[in-house]
């Protein structure tokens, strides 16, 4: 059987393009030892540009193939925040992830699954199938510190950042103090279901076999040291973190 690495980005070009570039990077450095299969949701918000991009990549990089999921229905009630709707959409595709990995495994050996942080619901599935799983974190190490440490911040208060803590500064290891109102929007309101989704993602980051980060030593030496020292996840072993940046599609046409 041929060896394959499966990549699973979150919906949207901002997530798909970096994952495709990671696939190109793997092929380049491994001398095409692996094939790359990219799992792809059928998002009602997909544009013709998205489909055109996927077609172009499939034509120009034959070692990269796309496996599109069947569509799923999602509650788009106006009472739900856009982030909550998006996160629920990803979660509803979990069964599609399972079926795809099972089908792919019939004809190839899946050596690893690489997932977007927002696709953390795929991690338990990969564990069941005994597939090593890594997160691909497209932002830098400083942002990774925020998300790795956020469960600790969550335990320190039961209040919403946007209403009750407007003058409070949050303290993350290795980072300057951050105003509570400057956290990512899904985390502002503790009553928004999206808050629990992001907390779930943060909790699962250390549970993978490793994290691949789009940065490099010379750019963020202090942040990299903080992560390596285990300061971001005080109650868990320090997991392997791999720095592969900068991932730039101009280098990998």
Tell me the Ramachandran region of residue 121: left when phi exceeds 0, alpha when psi lies from -120 to 50, beta otherwise: alpha
Do 39 and 69 meet the contact criterion of CB atoms below 8 Å apart?
yes
CA 61 to chain centre: 23
Alpha-carbon distance of 250 to 245, in angstroms, equals 13
Query: Reduced to 3 states, what is the DSSP secondary structure of residue 177?
Result: coil
Do 36 and 64 meet the contact criterion of CB atoms below 8 Å apart?
yes
> Which residues are catalytically annotated?
15, 116
Query: Reduced to 3 states, what is the DSSP secondary structure of residue 213?
Result: strand
How deeply is 148 buried, as exposed, middle or buried, from its count of CB atoms within 10 A (0-12, 13-18, 19+)? buried
């Amino acid at each position: 059987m041929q060896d394959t690495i499966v990549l699973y980005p979150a919906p949207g070009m901002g997530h798909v393009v970096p994952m495709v570039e990671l696939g190109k990077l793997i092929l380049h450095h491994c001398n095409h030892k692996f094939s790359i299969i990219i799992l792809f949701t059928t998002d009602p918000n997909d544009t013709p540009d998205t489909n055109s991009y996927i077609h172009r990549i499939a034509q120009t990089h034959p070692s990269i193939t796309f496996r599109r999921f069947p569509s799923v229905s999602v509650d788009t009630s106006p009472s739900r925040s856009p982030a909550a709707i998006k996160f629920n959409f990803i979660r509803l595709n979990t069964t599609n992830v399972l079926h795809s990995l099972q089908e792919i495994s019939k004809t190839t050996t899946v050596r690893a699954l690489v997932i977007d942080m927002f696709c953390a619901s795929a991690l338990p599935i990969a564990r069941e199938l005994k597939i090593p799983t890594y997160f691909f974190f497209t932002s830098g190490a400083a942002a990774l510190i925020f998300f790795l440490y956020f469960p600790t911040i969550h335990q320190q208060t039961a209040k919403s950042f946007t209403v009750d803590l407007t003058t409070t500064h949050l303290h993350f290891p290795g980072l300057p103090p951050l105003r509570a109102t400057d956290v990512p929007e899904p985390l502002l309101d503790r009553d928004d279901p999206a808050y629990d989704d992001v907390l779930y993602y943060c909790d699962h980051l250390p549970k993978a076999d490793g994290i691949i980060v789009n940065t490099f030593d010379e750019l963020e030496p202090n942040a990299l040291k903080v992560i390596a020292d285990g300061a971001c996840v005080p109650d868990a072993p320090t997991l392997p973190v791999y720095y592969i940046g900068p991932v730039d599609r101009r280098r990998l046409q």
